[in-house]
Amino acid sequence: MPGCAESYGQARNVLSGCCDRFGTLLSHMSDFPIIHLLTHMSSEGYGILALLAVLSVLSLAVMLQKWIQLSRRDKEDAQFEAVFQRVKAFSDLPVAVSRSRGAGLRSIAEAALSEEETFPPEDPAGRSETTRVALVRETCEREAELQSTNLEQRMAWLVVAAGSGPFLGLLGTVWGIMDAFFRIGNQASAGLNVVAPGIAEALMTTGVGLVVALPAAAAHQILAARLREVESRNAAFASRVVNLYRREFLSGHR
């Protein structure tokens, strides 16, 4: 029992020392201007910073999700392109589709095959080659548009963050200046200790708004450029599939 009491006393002393060090660390952190400002902001300033934090988290999540999605799409398209290089006729396309996975170019080829399967061997309506080719082309273009639409989902959040961040920061600036003038009128003094807190809060929200908006704007431009590349790749591939079908139709295999 004496040994347990001694161990308990040592543990309590260690815990007490850790708490003292943590309190000292917090006191030193409060000496930093930003930490001091954050701990002495008005409720309105906290509200604006909270909105900016939400926008920042949303934009970062969209950036990460879109980057992963586009990287996966590039990988899937490259794998399907390697298989498609061995396709010499439209009749070889089902083999290429069955040997690959994913969306993108494969989905366009699969849509063309699905449309082609709806054509009966002997068309009672007497649809010509031009009509059949046009139907396959429309199907490929529609699937390419659908793929682009899926990739563009949630991109609007980057525009919202890039456009709203500076304005929320400006709202904090206006509120901070108004608070500074209110203190001047309330205390009948224009001393630095009266004006400085409001101005510092105004500059703080402005800076945070820019920090939120700039990465979102840059990410939107980069991701939009990659999306345009994917759209161009889909359009070019859709044209290749249609040309395969047209050549096979002209060869008399249809």
pLDDT digits (tens, 9 = 90+) for 60-70: 999 999 999 99
- Same domain (yes/no): 16, 124: no
Q: What is the rounded distance in angstroms from the CA atom of residue 62 to the CA atom of residue 158? A: 7
How would you label 217-234 residue by residue, b for 16+ Cβ within 10 Å and e otherwise?
bebbeebeebbeebbebb
- Same domain (yes/no): 88, 156: yes
- Same domain (yes/no): 27, 38: no
Average pLDDT over residues 172-192: 71
Position 205, amino acid: T
pLDDT at 8: 43
- Same domain (yes/no): 115, 185: yes
Residue range of the domain that includes 214 = 34-250
- Same domain (yes/no): 8, 113: no
pLDDT at 189: 63
* DSSP 8-state assignment for residue 90: G
pLDDT at 12: 53
pLDDT at 14: 46
- Same domain (yes/no): 107, 19: no
- Same domain (yes/no): 10, 50: no
- Same domain (yes/no): 151, 218: yes
CA angle 178–164–162, rounded 5-degree value = 135
149 pLDDT tier (thresholds 50, 70, 90): confident
121 pLDDT tier (thresholds 50, 70, 90): low
- Same domain (yes/no): 17, 65: no
The residue among 197 and 58 whose pLDDT is bigger is 58
- Same domain (yes/no): 21, 123: no
2-16, 179-193, 204-218: least confident range? 2-16
The residue among 26 and 254 whose pLDDT is bigger is 254
- Same domain (yes/no): 163, 211: yes
Among 70, 77, 223, smallest CA distance to 155 is for 223
11 pLDDT tier (thresholds 50, 70, 90): very low
199 pLDDT tier (thresholds 50, 70, 90): confident
Average pLDDT over residues 42-62: 86
Close Cβ partners of 225 (under 8 Å, ≥ 6 residues apart)? none
What integer best gives the mean pLDDT of the chain? 77
pLDDT at 122: 61
Average pLDDT over residues 91-97: 81
Whole-angstrom CA distances from 232 to 47, 84, 104, 237 are 43, 17, 12, 9
pLDDT at 55 over 50: yes
pLDDT digits (tens, 9 = 90+) for 12-48: 554 455 445 534 534 444 444 555 555 666 677 778 8
Average pLDDT over residues 131-145: 86
Count: domains in the chain:
2
pLDDT at 129 over 70: no
Average pLDDT over residues 186-204: 67
